[in-house]
Amino acid sequence: MSSRLEFNTISRSYGDTEVLHQISLTVQPSRCVALLGASGSGKSTLLRIAAGLDEPSSGEVVVDGENLDGVPSEQRGVALVFQKPLLFPHLSVVDNVAFSARMAGQSRKVARDHAMAYLKLVKLADLAQRSSGRLSGGQEQRVALARALARNPRILLLDEPFSSLDSRLRDEMYSLMDDIRAELAPTIVLVTHDRREASVLADSIAVLDSGRILQHGPVAQLHYQPATLSVNRILGGLNAVPGNLADGVHHSALGRFPVQPGLRDGPAFLTVRQEAIRIIGPADGPATVTVTGIKSLGAHTLVHVASLGSRSSAETLTVEVPGDPGIRIGQHVGLQLVNTTGWAVTQ
């Protein structure tokens, strides 16, 4: 269940509308890559092309060195789990999972024994004889996962399979995916519009926008080192302060913040994440600002600050702090970067 998947310059157009533009992406064996983007960004189309349910206008899908051009979906060794489980309502749980083995000619007993191993993996062995129509939403998705895994696929494709579940059930499914990865080490491509889900489940994230990959890299890299303002926004970054770079320092009305080396002097945006800033005493940091807003998030608080006397929204930063920061609107505070160096982008 652990193969290498490559998308090589995949493009897909429907008439004059280009949905994917020269997508190149490699998923290493046993790794999980999340395709993250808004609706219409092209992520589900790319998944369908990998599954053989759609064809690229150009480019190729390669698994373990084999070009899958012209290979029917049922012969690709991939399994696709959709947002809706699409179980067979007339079959029991175990027979849903055993379906592919039965279609391959195995006896009912052999197919059911094989299916039971995967029902145990998803912790539903005790419901094997239940009608699939008597399952909860979370149980249905577990059965759908077990059915996909029972095919022993080379690649497991997940198309927003947890988006219809409530937050508690999603967390349970995330834990289950950890167990599945530890047990079977499958190669996984996950489509999601939820940045938290991508961050929890994936080893790396590929951000798609308008059919193009804006950036692909490890989870932490995309959060703290976005390549563009769009990536920063899609990953939930709340700060994009305009200013100018000079000798590795970003200058704006908010103050002077050192940023990563290698950038050319000139206009740039400070995209330091809200979690990567500390609020300190007004005389202790590189910038002194005024608190302009406080919003409780429960266990955390968002603090909005602006340069002294500023009325411009462009001259604000948002800081996320644990608990109650014990400050008030109008108070002067200092700012300090957690890692001493911020991150700037020029686009």
Tens-place pLDDT, residues 54-68: 999 999 999 999 999
Spatial separation of the C-alpha atoms in residues 258 and 142, rounded to whole Å: 48
Domain with CATH 3.40.50.300 in the chain: 5-229
Q: What is the pLDDT of residues 236-262, one digit of tens each?
A: 999 999 999 999 999 988 888 899 999
Cα–Cα nearest to 143, from 168, 113, 101, 173: 173
- Angle between helices 137-149 and 108-121 in degrees, nearest 10: 120
CATH of 237-345, one of 3.30.43.10, 2.40.110.10, 1.10.3720.10, 2.40.50.140: 2.40.50.140
Place of tokens 């939930």: 236
Q: What phi, psi does 118 have (nearest 5°)?
A: -85, -30
Q: What is the pLDDT of residues 9-54, one digit of tens each?
A: 999 999 999 999 999 999 999 999 999 999 999 999 999 999 999 9
Q: Which CATH class is domain 5-229?
A: alpha beta
Average pLDDT, rounded, for the chain: 92
8 Å CB contact between 130 and 122: no
Spatial separation of the C-alpha atoms in residues 244 and 211, rounded to whole Å: 31
Q: Can you say whether residue 339 is alpha, beta or left, with left for phi > 0 and alpha for psi between -120 and 50 degrees?
A: alpha
| pTM summary value | 0.92
Domain with CATH 2.40.50.140 in the chain: 237-345
212 beta partners? 209
